[in-house]
Structure 1
Amino acid sequence: MALFSDRATRPDETTDHPGAPVRRRARRRRFTPRDVAVFALLLGIPIVLDVVLIWGPTAASAVLSFSRWDGVSDLVWNHGDNYRQIVQDYPPFWPAVWHNVIWLVFLGLVATPLGLFLAVLLDKGIRGTRFYQSAIYMPVVLSLAIVGFIAKLVYSRDYGALNGVLGLTQHPVDWLGDPSKNLWAVLVLVAWRHIGYVMILYLAGLKAVDPELKEAASIDGANEVQTFFRVTFPTLRPINIIVLVITVIEALRAFDLVFIINKGRNGLELLSVLVSANIVGEASRIGFGSALAVILTVISLGFVVTYLVQVFREEKR
């Protein structure tokens, strides 16, 4: 009889038949009103801020891009005339697109590999590695106003250090005023900052690589280069995604440095500068500037989403 059994069955336990092993039912955690309030607070505030500060203005820009409005007079809907005008009748647009493409390629193919190379080098634990890490990362924490001041000290036609080092004092080069040179001069400064950021990200990823994988590859006869490309680099896939997204965003939202140097003119036109010039410039054209902002957003999302979709497909396979 059940009353005289050796072990009474608890309410949260079940048996299929006498003598069968006892199985415990999974207990469901019951959240108290306090737990629900904490979850709602922790999740609700970031979501509200994200909607109000990010997605709200984005949706508003998308709507306003189909209008002609200066922020004061009555709003007039002009359908897609802003986009047509941007593509066909707005001379700075295509040079700005080309400059953003150059910016992206330079960061992706020059600055990012250099950051990865320095990370691999410093990961070996060379003497003074802490000092080198701090020195290389220092440009990242500098204010862009300071970076712009450094740019003028280095590149100035009259008193710049670069002309002095190259022996061009008799025939100085206007590095920031010449449209054929100023973009590349600025890209060197941008890469100077980007390299330190990429280096820190990859250093964090390299610290998480299992040393046993490298030892196994070494035992199999692989040299350092083969070990890196066949063992280490594939394990850095999450870091690669982060670096790619950051590089694309940095290239497409670039604004501060060129605006400090010459307000994004005379060879330094960028899409972000055109957006700012039309929305908050002397002749405020909020609808037209919003259309430029939508184009910039679509281009940014196009790069990021395409790459992420490919990565997720490979992971599923």
Structure 2
Amino acid sequence: MAAKTRRYSARDVTVLVAGLGVAIVVNVGLVWGPTLASVGLSATDWNGIGPIEWIGARNYEDLAGTYPPFWSAVRNNVLWLGFLGLVATPFGLFCAVLLDRRLRMSRVYQSALYMPVVLSLAVVGFIAQLVFSSDYGVLNAVSGLHVDWLGDRAVNIWVVMVAAGWRHVGYVMIIYLAGLKAVDPALKEAAAIDGANERQAFFRVVFPTLRPVNVIVLVITVIEALRAFDIVYAINKGRNGLELLSVLVTENIVGEASRIGFGSAIAVILLVISLGFIVTYLSQLFRGEEER
């Protein structure tokens, strides 16, 4: 017997179109509209008030040659991404694996590790000041050291990355923990029957099944590394060794000397870098799925 085709009433169509229409308008107006506007403004010289002057690629040439904070910010963003991707994210996965074993008081450990996630990076920045300040910081008071953790350009970026990583670990942990709970226990049992130890079973059986979760974690890690702003701004307004691309965008667009075109060029570079990481990884992921 042929299945009946459901017919939508005029009311259903109206609700569907209205719902999708609002979502599309909001997305275009708040995301893609400003993005395309930034791309266009990056080729202009405009202070937000006077006439817009088209200057082509001059902003990008100035960034590469006559704007020293740019390369310092690129370096710090790369370090930030490397630290989150190679240190904080694996540690979050490690914590998720331990908690997945149903340890005693695992709920307490899970809550303690997840607690920093509910804090904004600005609040984490204020906490970092309380811990690492050279004048009233807890670390210097307890250890007896006299190190300017946040003022020394040689160490402050590492200190701030540790503070940001503290929050990132809990975020990654809860995502991987949800993924591990969804893994079929029969896979682990089959690996144990074949003689695999826990380490071999995880890396050869469990971890490959977490591929969709890995995509989510990668995207989150890249976004967190490139959008980092509030923590360094709360500490010293992103200066004296804590320059980041997001800070330079803000300083040039809404700073004292408003250079919207120049700030938009930095924003476009930030967009291209983030899309480059995400698109490359996703294309490799989908290619691997097609080859299966």
TM-score w.r.t. length of structure 2: 0.98
Partner of 1:294: 268
Question: How much identity, in percent, do the aligned residues show?
Answer: 68
- SS state at 1:73 partner: coil
Identify the match of residue 94 of structure 2 among 105, 117, 141: 117
Identify the match of residue 173 of structure 2 among 183, 186, 199: 199
Structure 1 stretches of 4+ with a deviation exceeding 3 A read none
State the shift of 1:165 in Å.
3.0
Q: Distance in 1 between matches of 2:243 and 2:126?
A: 20
**Further displaced range: 28-37 or 105-114:** 28-37
State the shift of 1:80 in Å.
1.0
Task: State the one-letter code of the partner of 2:210.
Answer: L
Unaligned runs of 5+ in 1: 1-23
Partner of 1:145: 122
Asked if 1:33 is matched to 2:10, the reply is: yes
Partner of 2:61: 84
State the shift of 1:234 in Å.
0.4
Identify the match of residue 227 of structure 1 among 201, 204, 228: 201
Task: Show the 5 A alignment for 1:1-317.
Answer: 24-168=1-145, 172-317=146-291
Query: Which structure: greater helix fraction?
Result: 2
Partner of 1:19: none
Unaligned runs of 5+ in 2: none
Q: Is the 8 A contact 2:81 2:221 kept in 1?
A: yes
Q: Distance in 1 between matches of 2:288 and 2:120?
A: 39
Q: Distance in 1 between matches of 2:277 and 2:238?
A: 24
State the shift of 1:211 in Å.
0.3
Q: Distance in 2 between matches of 1:302 and 1:149?
A: 32
Task: State the one-letter code of the partner of 2:47.
Answer: D
Q: Distance in 1 between matches of 2:176 and 2:247?
A: 31
State the shift of 1:29 in Å.
1.9
Q: Distance in 2 between matches of 1:218 and 1:179?
A: 50
CA RMSD of aligned residues (A): 0.9
State the shift of 1:286 in Å.
0.3
Q: Distance in 2 between matches of 1:249 and 1:143?
A: 15
Q: Is the 8 A contact 2:123 2:231 kept in 1?
A: no
Q: Distance in 2 between matches of 1:120 and 1:38?
A: 44
How many residue pairs get aligned? The number is: 291
Task: State the one-letter code of the partner of 1:255.
Answer: F
Q: Distance in 2 between matches of 1:269 and 1:143?
A: 19
Task: State the one-letter code of the partner of 1:92.
Answer: P
TM-score w.r.t. length of structure 1: 0.90
State the shift of 1:158 in Å.
1.5
C-alpha distance after superposition, 1:183-218 (max 9, x if no partner): 000011001000000000000000000001101111
- SS state at 2:154 partner: coil
C-alpha distance after superposition, 1:37-66 (max 9, x if no partner): 121122221111110000000000011111
- SS state at 1:176 partner: coil
State the shift of 1:25 in Å.
3.1
State the shift of 1:139 in Å.
0.4
Task: State the one-letter code of the partner of 1:237.
Answer: R
Greater Rg, structure 1 or structure 2?
Answer: 1
Q: Distance in 1 between matches of 2:27 and 2:188?
A: 42
